[in-house]
Amino acid sequence: MRTYVSPIGYDTRRVTRPVVTTGLSADDTVVMIRPDEESDTERANRAIADVESLLQEIEAAADHTIERVSTEGFEKTVRECCAILESVPDESETIVSLGGGARDILLPLTIASLVFSHRVDQALFFSDIDQDVRPLSLPELTARVPERTQKTFESIVIGDGWQTLTGIADGTGQSKSTVIRHVNALEEAEVVEADTSEKAKQVRVSFSGELLSKAWSLQT
């Protein structure tokens, strides 16, 4: 069971390509987001009709809905996009397409996807350059670094690439057992990632952790 969430503009490929690429089953739902006010309603309706026709050909039993969101204020649009993602059933895999539609909706939906990244199973992007559908790795910007692990986390951020737990312990003056506990907590928070393919476990800052550390540095 999957729920596709996508803004819809006049280029219907930005809705249909991610669906075709990932697949559509009878119990899936495609949610198309459009502004509550449009400059060319007739053209927008044709685009929706085209998408609905293709979805019918792919899997007639699949559901599809239209969600209209207000664009009268940026904060309101973000809140309404958050509400759409929050309403996806827990048992459904959530797939968000961030490759098109009205810019007034695309940016708010992107922000909402970051807020709900823990509920977004896949984020896809339709490239303007080669019209390819690409997966996106959404950073977990709502992650929290436990205060007790701050020293270990800062050492990993400053370090150059992969680091061993022994190296982190030596660099921070902490015991290895303390570093192990800290790294486990940081992995759980998704701000560091580990490699256990070698004899000694290695860790490095994740994309989410990197962005969080940059945000903190701007505040100091």
CA distance 208 to 131: 27
CA distance 140 to 30: 24
Task: Answer with the one of 85, 110, 136 that is the final residue of a domain.
Answer: 136
Residue 218 has pLDDT above 70, yes or no: no
Q: Buried b / exposed e across 147-157, counting CB within 10 Å, b at 16+?
A: eebebbbebbb
Residue 181 has pLDDT above 60, yes or no: yes
Shared domain for 156 and 190, answered yes or no, is yes
CB 105, CB 81: distance < 8 Å: yes
CB 191, CB 183: distance < 8 Å: no
Instruction: Provide the pLDDT for residue 123.
Output: 92
Shared domain for 128 and 176, answered yes or no, is no
pLDDT interval class at 217 (50, 70, 90): low
The region, left, alpha or beta by phi > 0 then psi within -120 to 50, assigned to residue 146 is beta
Shared domain for 49 and 116, answered yes or no, is yes
Segment 102-115 mean pLDDT: 89
pLDDT interval class at 219 (50, 70, 90): very low
pLDDT, tens digit, 9 for 90 and up, residues 13-23: 888 888 888 88
CA distance 15 to 202: 40
How many other C-beta atoms can be found within 10 angstroms of the C-beta atom of residue 202? 17
Torsion angle in degrees (nearest 10) through CA of 160, 165, 169, 170: -60
Instruction: Provide the pLDDT for residue 78.
Output: 92
On whether the pTM is more than 0.85, the answer is no
CATH number of the domain bearing residue 51:
3.40.50.11700
CB 180, CB 202: distance < 8 Å: no
pLDDT, tens digit, 9 for 90 and up, residues 141-164: 777 888 899 999 999 998 878 999
Residue 55 has pLDDT above 90, yes or no: no
Q: Which residue has the tokens 């009268």?
A: 72
φ, ψ for residue 95, nearest 5 deg: -120, 120
| Residue 141, domain member (yes or no) | no
CATH number of the domain bearing residue 189:
1.10.10.10
Q: How many domains does the chain have?
A: 2
Shared domain for 13 and 71, answered yes or no, is yes
| Residue 74, domain member (yes or no) | yes
